[in-house]
Amino acid sequence: MRAGSQPWDTNVTIGEREWFLAQRGQDAGTYISAPFQGKATRAASFAVSRRRSTPEGHFDGIIHVALSPEYFRRFFLEAAPPGPSVAGLIRDDGVILARSPAPAPYSRLGSDNILMRSIADEPDGGVLFGVSSTDQRERYYAYRHVGSYPVYVAFGIDADVALGRWYRNLELYGAVALLSALTLFLVSWLALRRAEAEQKALVQLQHESEQRLAAEQRLLQAQKMESIGQLTGGIAHDFNNLLAVIVGNLELLRKRIKDDDRARRLLEGAFQGAQRGAALTQRLLAFSRRQDLTPQAVDVPELVSSMMDLLARALGPSIQIVTRCPVDLPPVRVDPNQLEMALLNLAVNARDAMPTSGTITISAHQEDMAEGNGHGLSPGAYVCVSVSDTGMGMDDATLARAVEPFFTTKGVGKGTGLGLSMIHGLAVQSGGTLKLRSELGKGTTAEIWLPQGQAVVVAPVSNKTDRPEHRRCTVLLVEDDPLVMTGTAAMLEDLDHRVVEASSGEQALRILREDASIDLVVTDHAMPGMTGLELAERIRTEWPALPILLASGHAELPERRGLAVPRLTKPFRQDELEHAIATVVTPACEPINVVPLRRS
């Protein structure tokens, strides 16, 4: 004995022990012995041993650990479930190393034992049923191989105990299943009773979802059109400024070219091109709802009747025109010139959709709109003016984009794509809307919904052809665009006025405080810092009698309570500027009907 955990008598030898002999003869690996009586501990044990060898491979002793079967018995007792059971630690040759609850009268299981036969068939582990050879009780056994050791742990429980638990569980589960079945039957019964109500609720929910989706799509379309309108209006405003410069300079140049016929023809061509550009900006402004309109009470049947000759010439003999307008139809509140242009545009579009021949129907009817109507209109009385054709119609994709500016299905050079967008802008700016209905192969119907209303009195800029009496005034011209400033100043000087220039509202106020000779202020509206309306309000406060003329391409300007300022729409010709000045000052440059600022 070289070393150990217990005191050892050197006279005592273990040379005859089973495990010592097994390891001495050859390297038996991890060897587990049969139970024995320990020489040092005097207690029952079994040994787990390993061989020690010299570098040359000769036997040099063993290392062994003695384990107590009693430890495993206590472990088995603590781990076993309530009721009769048996557990054991068995070597693969049948030797019983430990057993609970008590040692068996034999120390080894024979090869004919049902457990050993099962181990031989299924060496990794298994479950079996059999009769115990110790107490002849029927048991269910389970065993498992312990790691890499030649040892098995086995456990057996009495059949009565296992079946008793199974029967008790069966009764419990049966009761639970019965209760569950009753509950399920009750729930199913209630569900069947509520099925019809739930189905109705589902249909209602689907209908509301479709309505919400349609409303969201209408909102997205409205936001899209509003964004495009803002962009279009901004472009048109800048283009108006350019046209104001071009038209003004061309008019001044036309006065100076008298004898050169070729130069006059070229000049007239340029002037006509500028006027076409002005018409184009009016269409853009109509789409963006910034067009300068003159709304009034319009008799739709009379207007349509007066257009029949014009429509017949524009549409040609192959197109039949049918009108259905009640004589007692109430008037609508709209700019008559713009409505006439819109109807003519719709009629031409309808003709283009019928290349050979067809029928165009112009009809109108009155209808009262309630809250939450499908057209997005405010509650009130409206008149619907519709233009229908029997042409090719449009698919859904084309119909969805029909009112977008510059969108057209016509060939290159055959359309600007602004017709429907202009009509849409006119309808919305007039308090109504434009609705399109179309089906491929069956034609298209365009409906212009306009509010019913009384006559609107508007004081437009005078269109008189007679030139006003001569006057020479000192005009303060306020304009932030240098090109527009130069062109307008040249037209004013050509009218024999003295011009004082200011590029901002702040500079204009400083000039007014320093120069008392100013007879008239002509100001742009869209300027950085201080707008034209803000400047007019400041002037009305400090110089109440000073005439002001507001020149702008925008129709929808912010309202200023108590502030009335005459308007001049850009781009304007020199004669329009001259007549506008004549409406605010006398030939002696004295103010005419200046409305003082009224503060609430």
CB 389 within 8 A of CB 350: yes
pLDDT of residue 410: 64
The answer, yes or no, to whether residue 521 has pLDDT greater than 60, is yes
pLDDT of residue 233: 63
Q: Which two tokens stand for residue 156?
A: 């057996």
Q: Looking at the domain assignment, is residue 94 inside a domain?
A: no
Q: Looking at the domain assignment, is residue 235 inside a domain?
A: yes
The answer, yes or no, to whether residue 68 has pLDDT greater than 90, is no
Our CA angle for 593, 596, 599, nearest 5°, is: 150
pLDDT range class, residue 137, cuts 50, 70, 90: confident
Is the same domain home to 314 and 431?
A: yes
Q: Looking at the domain assignment, is residue 255 inside a domain?
A: yes
Q: Looking at the domain assignment, is residue 162 inside a domain?
A: no
Q: Looking at the domain assignment, is residue 135 inside a domain?
A: no
CATH of the domain at 365: 3.30.565.10
Provide the domain limits for residue 184.
173-285
Task: Give how far the C-alpha of residue 335 lies from the chain's centroid of Cα atoms, to the nearest Å.
Answer: 38
CB-based contacts of 260: which residues, under 8 Å, 6+ apart? none
Q: Which two tokens stand for residue 568?
A: 């001049």
pLDDT range class, residue 570, cuts 50, 70, 90: confident
Is the same domain home to 442 and 481?
A: no
CB 139 within 8 A of CB 86: yes
pLDDT of residue 37: 83
CB 314 within 8 A of CB 344: yes
What residues are paired with 319 via a beta bridge? 358
pLDDT of residue 457: 45
At residue 74, φ and ψ (nearest 5 deg) are -60, -40
Half-sphere exposure of residue 205: CA atoms within 13 angstroms, side-chain side: 6
pLDDT of residue 222: 60
Task: Give how far the C-alpha of residue 468 lies from the chain's centroid of Cα atoms, to the nearest Å.
Answer: 59
Is the same domain home to 425 and 530?
A: no
Annotate 368-420 with three-state secondary structure. EECCCCCCCCCCEEEEEEEEEECCCCCCHHHHHCCCCCCCCCCCCCCCCCCHH
CB 403 within 8 A of CB 288: no
Q: Which two tokens stand for residue 562?
A: 């108590």
Q: Is the pTM of this model over 0.85?
A: no
Q: Looking at the domain assignment, is residue 466 inside a domain?
A: no
| CA 97 – CA 108 distance, rounded (Å) | 9
Count the neighbouring beta carbons within 10 Å of the beta carbon of residue 512. 20
pLDDT of residue 1: 67
Q: Looking at the domain assignment, is residue 223 inside a domain?
A: yes
178-198 per-position pLDDT tens digit: 889 989 898 888 888 888 888
CB-based contacts of 486: which residues, under 8 Å, 6+ apart? 245
